[in-house]
Amino acid sequence: MKLLLLFAFGVLSTFAEDSQLLKEFSEGNIQFSADVYKEMLKSNSGNFLVCPLSVDIVLALVHAGARGETAQQLSTGLHLPESHEKIEQIFTKLAPTLQSNDKYNLSSANKVYVKDNFKISDKFKSTAVNVFDAEIQNIDFTKKEQAATEMNKWVEDKTHDKIKDLISPDDLNQYTRAVLINAIYFHGQWVKQFDEYSTRKRTFYLNANDHVETDMMEITDSFNYYESPDLNAKFLELPYEGGDITMTFVLPNDKDGLPALEARIDEVLATPKYSFERVHVIIPKFKIETTIQFKPILQALGIKDAFEDNADFSGIGAQKEPLKISKVIQKAFIEVEEKGTTAAAATAVMLVELASFDIPTSPPKQFVADHPFVCYLRSSSAIIFIGRYSGLSN
């Protein structure tokens, strides 16, 4: 009996520890998502989409080889623990939550491309392979066109051709030592699908004065719904088949209310107090594609040394060759339609040698998204994508 009790206690303790690790990561991921969103506002006046989780993953892998102040800044900027060991524990537990099931397709893939004669340390290689499930491949970066084509082909394969030309040959040079890439892909169908025959052109207000005509989808059914008097906004959560992935739409009550809502994006991303309500929903069909140069965003969040000559990535190379990050690039894509959603993102980090650069009877609630809104796609453990639909392309 004692053995059984001890065994049961051990299982429960491990489960509790795992849950706590994922809870800590989720909280940090929400804060990082909010931080990135606020930085994106500075250079984007129209639609945009970002995948904070992809950046989390690829920079957590980079963190495994960072030391000293470089590692500290990465931890702080990403809202991750300082301990390498704890970060490894988190991403070991996170990986199983980023897998497909029989209802939706969700995948996260990592790859490290290393210059032919550059040797990575055994410890970094072990972490990349065993914690981040990363493939490692040698490549000749001096053959820039060929190398970029090969890496882009891998990204296209992992994102089902949604992300193309992530890496330009001009991103590579004789100082490039490694390129680390994360690719995330999601395709899912709504639990309650919109009827294609209900989709029609409707007015979408760009602001209080200007408008365009766009395809709008319509459904009346029961969903998680919340009205926030404090934020002066409505929340609607649409679930995907499979039970774990949802998309949340956050609609300001005023047609020109998006800036005020975005100024409080930290509160927007806090879990609302939903109630299950019958809701009449009208939202646009939309597609957003965004290319993001993440270097200035990360620098604004305090991750500075990683891009400078004093960067300490001594845990990556076997010969302790001085390295720094030259670029962090992300491409993100999302398409929302009647049946469901397809979304993809890929993020590349380039390391260079130093010397370079039950329906109620009351009337349904109304959620008519005919003006700019925030939306985010999340799992139980992380915000995967977050963006803004304003009706205007950047």
DSSP strands (E only) in the chain: 48-50, 105-115, 135-139, 176-189, 200-205, 211-228, 233-239, 246-252, 275-284, 286-293, 323-336, 340-353, 365-368, 373-378, 383-389
Q: Is 49 helix (H, G, I), strand (E, B) or coil?
A: strand
39 belongs to a structural domain: no
Tens place of pLDDT per residue across the chain (394 aa): 233 333 343 333 345 667 888 899 999 999 999 999 999 999 988 999 999 999 999 999 999 999 999 999 999 999 999 999 999 999 999 998 888 888 999 999 999 999 998 899 999 999 999 999 999 999 999 999 999 999 999 999 999 999 999 999 999 998 899 999 999 999 999 999 999 999 999 999 998 889 999 999 999 999 999 999 999 999 999 999 998 899 999 999 999 999 999 999 999 998 789 999 999 999 999 999 999 999 999 999 999 999 999 999 999 988 878 898 999 999 999 999 999 999 999 999 888 877 544 545 689 999 999 999 999 999 989 999 999 999 877 5
Domain span including residue 304: 52-187+289-353
Burial 153-178 (b: 16+ CB within 10 A, else e): ebbbebbeebbeebbeeebbbebbbb
Provide φ and ψ at 370, rounded to 5°. -105, 20
274 belongs to a structural domain: no
Q: How many domains is the chain partitioned into structurally? A: 1
Q: Is 285 helix (H, G, I), strand (E, B) or coil?
A: coil
339 belongs to a structural domain: yes
| C-alpha to C-alpha distances, 371 to 40, 95, 108, 207, nearest whole angstrom | 20, 36, 32, 7
210 belongs to a structural domain: no
* Closest of 43, 148, 29 to residue 77, by C-alpha: 29
307 belongs to a structural domain: yes
DSSP strands (E only) in 269-382: 275-284, 286-293, 323-336, 340-353, 365-368, 373-378
296 belongs to a structural domain: yes
150 belongs to a structural domain: yes
102 belongs to a structural domain: yes
Query: What CATH code is carried by the domain that includes residue 176?
Result: 3.30.497.10
